[in-house]
């Protein structure tokens, strides 16, 4: 039902509820991590080289929210507050990066090699710890429509000319069908680790690293790339890094996915 909401304005309250749930869940998780941190064994500072592509895909998956940046800016009452310094984007991304780093570092320090794809799996079986899983599930439910907004806009714009008689019904059926497809994929692939890495390596290395660099090179082609063509070298490095992550991350993720 929530996926049938087509206006970002009405999705904002659900996003706020999800943020509160995630914040509460992370607080509880960090409580359990820090309360038993003295029990942690020594862990290696770096993983083995074959595991680096998995790390790349998983880390780059954190860019999955980048797709809603422009729609959010376009729907703001004062779009100029979204970018700049200080800005909504800088504050929000800085806060999110800090949370990711804190949970990732101390979670790994506590559980080491036993750290699961979702750290909530490592929590004990008492009711408070298990409530974190419920909070995360509810937060995903409330934010699914927000993440679904951009791909649905793109898909529907390319299809709506075929449904001129009943466009609203056709769009709703399409939305429901895509949600069902996502649920079936989630059921078919219960192990999130390789799937997250695969999505990050295939999709986000292209959309988050390679495409922006290519677009910037095209936009500034006539104007020039600055002193010593620093913009050209920067973007070429990012593109090469994205290609490397795409190839290695995809190969390792597919290997792990089919192995399981």
Model pLDDT, residue 237: 93
From the list 148, 118, 117, the residue with the least C-alpha distance to 253 is 117
Model pLDDT, residue 10: 82
pTM listed for this prediction? 0.70
Model pLDDT, residue 64: 63
Q: Measured between alpha carbons, how far is 109 from 41 in angstroms, rounded to an integer?
A: 8
Q: How many CB atoms lie within 10 A of CB 7?
A: 9
Q: Measured between alpha carbons, how far is 6 from 240 in angstroms, rounded to an integer?
A: 38
For residue range 59-87, what is the model confidence (pLDDT) as tens digits? Answer: 776 666 666 666 676 777 777 777 777 77
Contacts of residue 204, defined as CB under 8 A and 6 or more positions apart, other chains included, come to: 60, 61, 63, 64, 66
Q: Measured between alpha carbons, how far is 62 from 190 in angstroms, rounded to an integer?
A: 20
For residue range 208-221, what is the model confidence (pLDDT) as tens digits? Answer: 788 889 999 999 88
From the list 236, 254, 224, the residue with the least C-alpha distance to 54 is 254
Cβ atoms of residues 68 and 147 within 8 Å = yes
Q: Measured between alpha carbons, how far is 107 from 66 in angstroms, rounded to an integer?
A: 25
Low-confidence ranges of the chain (pLDDT < 50): none
From the list 212, 210, 209, 204, the residue with the least C-alpha distance to 250 is 204
């Amino acid at each position: 039902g929530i996926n049938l909401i087509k206006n970002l304005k009405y999705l904002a309250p659900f996003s706020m509820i999800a943020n509160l749930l995630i914040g509460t869940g992370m607080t509880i998780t960090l409580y359990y991590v820090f309360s038993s941190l003295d029990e942690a064994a020594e862990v290696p500072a770096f993983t083995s080289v074959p595991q680096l592509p998995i790390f790349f895909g998983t880390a780059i998956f954190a860019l999955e929210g980048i797709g809603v940046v422009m729609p959010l800016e376009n729907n703001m009452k004062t779009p100029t507050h979204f970018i700049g310094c200080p800005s909504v984007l800088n504050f929000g991304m800085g806060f999110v990066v800090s949370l990711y780093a804190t949970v990732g570092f101390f979670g790994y320090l506590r559980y080491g090699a036993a750290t699961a794809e979702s750290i909530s799996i490592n929590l004990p079986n008492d009711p408070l710890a298990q409530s974190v899983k419920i909070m995360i599930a509810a937060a995903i439910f409330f934010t699914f429509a927000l993440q679904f907004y951009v791909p649905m806009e793109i898909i529907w714009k390319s299809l709506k000319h075929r449904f001129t008689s009943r466009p609203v019904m056709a769009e709703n059926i399409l939305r429901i069908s895509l949600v069902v497809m996502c649920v079936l994929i989630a059921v078919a692939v219960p192990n999130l680790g390789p799937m997250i890495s695969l999505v990050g390596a295939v999709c986000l290395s292209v959309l988050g690293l390679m495409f922006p660099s290519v677009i910037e090179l095209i936009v500034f082609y006539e104007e020039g790339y600055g002193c010593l063509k620093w913009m050209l070298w920067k973007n070429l490095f990012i593109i090469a890094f994205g290609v490397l992550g795409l190839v290695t991350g995809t190969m390792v993720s597919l290997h792990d996915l089919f192995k399981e």
